[in-house]
Structure 1
Amino acid sequence: MRMGKKVIPLFKEVFDQYLADTQWDKGLPSEQACRQALFPGSDWFENFPFYAAGFLTDEGIAREISKMTTKAQNFEAHCAKNGLSLSQVYAAAMKCRSLFLKKSGEFSWFFRRMRLVKKRGSFLFLHAGLDDHMAELLANHGVKYANRAFKQNLMHQNLFSFYYGSLANTFRTKYRKADLPLTPRGAYTARQAGIQVLVHGHINQHFGQRVTLKNGLIHIEADITLDAHSRKNEGLDGCGVGVTLIDKKRGVIGLSCDYPQVKVFNPGLKGKRVGAH
């Protein structure tokens, strides 16, 4: 429910490919039981602020409750629009659990191989961004420790505290008020750890890659919208194609199907025009 309508195409694809021609409803709970399993109860809205107080800001708590309210109200209608009943959604969710989380699952490799961060030289590659605590963790313990902590928390720890903590903030943040903050102190700590540039996606762009500065820390926003469903929803034409090249001599080169020119960022080219070509 937290993912809302954006997860429905996945459930639709899984249902059509793995369940449609099977006795998928054999042994399945009733429609009402499926609804109760999928939707948050009224007590969730009452209890969430209490349990989230140690993890989220007041703005973050209010945002989560508002988003969950809207998603719960609209979820069933979005399912129906895509030809899915709640029972089918439940069955698809259980199939996803089998495909991704069981050791014998077809996509179990996905979480086994997943890494939170990767450092090459002074570049840190990650999904979304840093906060002060994560910058300190990297400075004190390094990338290997962060990746081990990520995998251990993902598989074995309380998912709520994990999802709203610093480890998961690296793939959730868009530097909103509700996100854990990156302050000048955190940016300084990252630089002390040898991190000068963050290379990430997640911040959705419709005009190719861009370079930004957040509290003195360089960010290369390299998001390219790839999947067909998202491109259709966002009014983007054709297939999503893009690549970000990073080279000592050539600098940073951004290629994107959503921007008509090649973008070049090379601070070493003094006195020469650097930009879109």
Structure 2
Amino acid sequence: MNHVTIKGYIARGGDVALRLLGVLFCWGLGVALAGPVWSAQILVSPAAKTATQVTISGELDLGDALTFLRKTGEMKDAVVVLQSPGGNTAAGISIGRAIRQKGFLTLVPSSANCASACALAWLGGARRFMGEGAQVGFHAAYTLSGGRARRSSSGNAALVKYVNGLDLPPQAIAYITSAPPERMYWLTLPAARAVGIEAGPYAASGIANAREQARHVPMTIQAATDYPGNDIGRLKQTTLDACLVACSAARSCKAFTFVPYRRECWLKNEIGSAEPRDGLVSGIK
């Protein structure tokens, strides 16, 4: 990748791109969740009446996270369709974080597999979906040494930090991080729900209407209001719509405050006391 291309990514992605470059080059090299890696295909299919579809297929490489950021930089609403055997840990985590910050939905289509690094990207969805017969697989991050897979301390530390920020219950985090490098822990939709990973069955109407359904979750929107404290997460470079979807989809989220001029969403596990604050928008369940 030449310098002109990287500068273009940074210009379009701002601070997100800079942070992503830091992640990729600090610890991404050599850390994988699958075997030999080739670049994935990332295709964008605009839709007039439904959310744009972004399809990721093939093994995830370091550069794929930057490609995803470039292709989705201006999108406000998207469904990310994932079908991949895995790839680089840093790429999967970075794509998952971008998905979460933008409030995108994620889908593994019917009879498809999404393993290791792909599964980490799928976890980032504000709402997650699985088609009939779809499987999502997890195992520990590893490096190859002498032809053998060995756990990567830095890779797994980053993995744990990532999943801890996704509002997952302890049993889900334990399941995701406990599989050894040489094995894959597969999840079907019922199994995902059993370990505490919230996901829904795929249906064309369900994906198309997911955001509209989220808006129907009983929430009271309050202009010029702040609910300080009780923060459990922050979404950056996001929208009020994505903020609403993220809080609606998270069981532990009881309220949110959206800061329009910063494009930040603060998710909260308690409602707390309201304070008047011009320019802010809050919502409570």
Query: Radius of gyration: which is bigger?
Result: 1
What TM-score comes out, normalization by structure 1 length? Answer: 0.24
What TM-score comes out, normalization by structure 2 length? Answer: 0.24
Structure with greater helix share of residues: 1
